[in-house]
Structure 1
Amino acid sequence: MSDLPTLDEIRRAPKVLLHDHLDGGLRAETIVDVARETGYDALPTTDPAALREWFHEAADSGSLERYLETFRHTVAVMQTREALVRVAAECAEDLADDGVVYAEVRFAPEQHTANGLSLDQVVEAVLEGFRIGSRDGRIRVGTLLTAMRHQARSREIAELAVRYRDLGVVGFDIAGAEAGYPPTRHLDAFEYLQRENAHFTIHAGEGFGLPSIWQAIQWCGADRLGHGVRIIDDIADIDGTPKLGRLAAYVRDKRIPLEMCPTSNLQTGAAPSIAEHPIGLLRQLHFRVTVNTDNRLMSDTTLSQEFAKLVDAFGYGWDDLQWFTVNAMKSAFIPFDERLALINGLIKPGFAQLKWRVNDR
């Protein structure tokens, strides 16, 4: 009998998720329901099972740009207050059902105003949904407000994040196609956030290479890197020994968290396979690696499934999964004492109990 964690066991582990997009995790049934209620008639199919499969196949293209196209349908059904509340509540419930105890879920308010909602109304609806979905106490959800890197509203969204930071918004992010839209275009927003002592992460090193990582850190001052997969390009193999370049060494030395999303990284072409994903080497080299879902609908995944794939590919045991989880909790955008309370009061005891049960089976 293998001592490696099984998927069912991993589901019972107290997990932490830092990189999950609200508009990438809808239930297919909800998309069909809201589309019917709002008159949106552009869905490829109204059969929930077939629609779920369509999203997975459309996203599994090896292109970040094609991957992002799938969001046209999910965003289209998230244009009313009622839909936003429902989607956020279901997100919290689904994550809790998967054993996630703390999550930071991001969304772009500017993408949900087509029917007349203001940015504030969008944020308040999502926060209400998260409160409803987490009221049973199984999960705590923090919200990240995302600005689209190809638009010019990042300062406005940054101010929105600061305005709601005591009400459930814990940070800021920029997302969208990286090529041609460097994070330095949004310096005004990042400098504002730094002056306000606010936290932010930047999508970097996924669809573009080392320059985007360097800019995100050295020009913009990112607290975390969304994906950061291409940091592997700054690690050379010298006669079988990894040799870190100056950027990779800086990222490791400064303990800058990498929000890696294995399945999504395969779909967008950022990694060739799970077994060849840079996460394996980065774990060996003790980078601050975290494991995430990115878009659960498009990737047909859960955080437990992401961990299970890494167990299969790298033979990870409970200590490895706990290491990834503690990394994520250490890197969360909530206060230090609250992070520590979750690590010592919930995460470590939860993993210890699971390891004891496994050793006793």
Structure 2
Amino acid sequence: MRRPGSEARRGSGRSCPFLHLAISARYGQLMVAPSLAEIINAPKALLHDHLDGGLRPATIVELAAEIGHQLPATDPERLGEWFAAAADSGSLVRYLETFAHTVAVMQTEAGLRRVAAECAEDLAADGVVYAEVRYAPEQHLERGLTLPQVVEAVLAGFAEGSARAAAAGRPIRVVCLLTAMRHAARSMEIAELAVRYRDAGVVGFDIAGAEAGYPPTRHIDAFSYLQRENAHFTIHAGEAFGLPSIWQALQWCGADRLGHGVRIIDDITVGADGKAVLGRLAAYVRDKRIPLELCPSSNVQTGAVASIAAHPIGLLHDLRFRVTINTDNRLMSRTSMSREMSLLVDAFGYGWADLQWFTVNAMKSSFLPFDERLKIINEIIKPAYAKLLSQYTA
């Protein structure tokens, strides 16, 4: 089926002659386009962020020196540029290879705790009020740590960083997902670990890694166990691989959310008249309100889409899929939640109403208990966006 180009989507800021004005795609209101500085101060919710993909370059340099790990560059600025360039290859496999250097410096309790604390601080400084950060405990055992020690170090780091952020006037709630690697055979062990720590800050489970050749059904025992334990899980699917990956994640494994899921666009056809026709799988995903953890910049880097302007998020938003905006790997993409939102404002002409919609979608789709989700939506997100909407609506 034909994947629609950006011309099929309405509200593209690239075709609008007024740089600082946009039409809200949801309400049709003439609004001042949110600036990056303004977006930073708006509350945001993040569901798909990798701990080992968001380190500060300076931290990598310092931790690598302590353990004698050789880096491609020892100047933090040059190292950050190297990560971005190496990841910007159009290949998911090559993209994933950059993690060898970040994972290498996350093999001690002190290293893990520092990275987690800085993650919480960095997200809070960007205006994120709720974040689900994921990582694979099995990748942090090279220097003798046990799986529980890894989890406890990360949780301690999140608590430490969140406390520092709150003291700085930027409160944030950070929880985590435990990830199992698709190519390995430890998914049941990691699933059991997620259940063991679910009352301590681990809200769910995930599998990640190269999709091709490693279908999610290889880990069906782990997913069945999680369902029996009433636990939440998402699955990386529909990023580098197509509709079969999404179908398996949902219909065989029972995923609550789709990590990326961008290739659902392959089951949508847009005719010459601009009318979209959904295939059976796309209709199911929309009807069931299955959240899509879309990561625009990362999707471009890995070759899942050609550009931000051509990203299916525009059409999926207009068709009212449960779309969320995410960072994936802030270091490799040199991005933040605010930057991702700003890129979409430029590409699709989104206004504050749209950014609120994406944010509420994320909180509705989070793995927190319902009452806790509702509290963040009603007491933090909606009041802040109501103020922004009233201030900037023409």
* Structure-2-length-normalised TM-score: 0.90
Equivalent-residue separation in structure 2 for 1:178 and 1:28 (angstroms): 28
2:188 aligned with 1:155: yes
1:64 aligns with 2:92: yes
Aligned residue for 1:83, secondary structure, equals helix
Match of 1:254 among 288, 291, 315: 288
Taking the aligned partners of 2:319 and 2:335, their CA distance within structure 1 comes to 27
Alpha-carbon distance between aligned partners in 2 of 1:233 and 1:190, rounded to the nearest angstrom: 26
2:341 is aligned, of 294, 307, 311, to 307
RMSD over aligned CA atoms reads 0.9
How far the C-alpha of 1:38 sits from its partner, in A, is 1.3
Q: Which of 308, 316, 324 pairs up with 2:358?
A: 324
- Offset from partner CA, 1:213-257 (integer Å, 9 cap, x none): 000000000000000000000001233210000000000000000
CA distances 1:166-211 after superposition (whole Å, capped 9, x unpaired):
0000000000000000000000000000000000000000010000
Aligned counterparts of 1:148 and 1:110: Cα–Cα separation in 2: 8
More divergent stretch after superposition (135-144 vs 292-301) = 135-144
State the partner residue of 2:128: 100
Give the SS at the match of 2:331. Answer: helix
Q: Which one of the candidate residues 204, 207, 215 is aligned to 2:237?
A: 204
Q: Which residue of 1 aligns with 2:44?
A: 15
Unaligned runs of 5+ in 2: 1-19, 22-31
The corresponding residue for 2:202 is 169
Say which SS state the counterpart of residue 133 (structure 2) adopts. Answer: strand
Q: Which residue of 2 aligns with 1:34?
A: 63
Aligned to 1:358: 392
Asked whether the 8 Å contact 1:65–1:177 carries over to 2, the reply is yes
- Secondary structure (helix, strand or coil) at the match of 1:134 reads helix
Letter in 2 for 1:148: M
Conserved 8 A contact 1:9-1:354: no
Contact 1:24–1:71, Cα closer than 8 Å, also in 2: yes
CA distance in 2, matches of 1:279, 1:47: 36
Partner Cα separation in structure 2 for residue 249 and residue 285 of structure 1: 10
**Mapping of 1:103-122 within 5 angstroms?**
103-122=131-150
CA shift, 1:263, in A, is 0.1
Percent of aligned pairs sharing the same letter: 74
Task: Measure, in 2, the Cα distance between the counterparts of 1:327 and 1:261.
Answer: 14
Q: Paired residue for 1:82?
A: 110
* Match runs of 1:177-192 below 5 Å: 177-192=210-225
Equivalent-residue separation in structure 1 for 2:140 and 2:106 (angstroms): 6
Amino acid at match of 1:294: D
Task: Specify which structure has the bigger relative contact order, considering alpha-carbon pairs within 8 angstroms and separated by 6 or more residues.
Answer: 2
Q: Secondary structure at the match of 1:294?
A: coil
Aligned to 2:14: none
Partner of 2:28: none
Q: Does 1:221 align with 2:254?
A: yes
TM superposition outliers: structure 1 runs of 4+ over 4 Å: none
Comparing 4-13 with 232-241, greater Cα deviation is found at 232-241
Q: Contact conserved, 1:17 with 1:100, CA < 8 A, in 2? A: yes
Of 326, 332, 338, which residue of structure 2 is paired with 1:292? 326
- Aligned residue identity for 2:44: K
User: Distance between the aligned counterparts of 2:76 and 2:389, measured in 1?
Assistant: 38
Matched with 1:266 is: 300
**1:261-312 CA deviation, whole Å, 9 max, x = no partner?**
0000000000111111000000000000000000000000000000000000
SS at match of 2:111: helix
1:356 to partner: Cα distance: 3.0
Q: Which residue of 1 aligns with 2:367?
A: 333
Q: Partners in 2 of 1:57 and 1:339 — Cα distance? A: 37
Mark the runs of 5 or more structure 1 residues left unpaired by the alignment.
none
TM-score computed with the length of structure 1 as normaliser: 0.98
The alpha carbon displacement at 1:358 in A equals: 2.9
CA distance in 1, matches of 2:65, 2:211: 34
Alignment correspondent of 2:266: 233
Deviation for aligned residue 1:355:
2.4
Helix, strand or coil at the partner of 1:323:
helix
Q: Secondary structure at the match of 2:383?
A: helix
In the alignment, does 2:100 pair up with 1:47? no
Amino acid at match of 1:121: Q
Q: Is the 8 A contact 1:146 1:157 kept in 2?
A: yes
CA distance in 2, matches of 1:64, 1:37: 30
Tell me, yes or no, if the aligned pair for 1:149 and 1:183 is still in contact at 8 Å.
yes
Contact 1:34–1:77 (CA under 8 A) maintained in structure 2: yes
1:359: Cα distance to partner?
4.3
The one-character-per-residue Cα deviations of 1:71-128 (angstroms, maximum 9, x if unpaired) are 0000000000000000000000000000000000000000000000000000000000
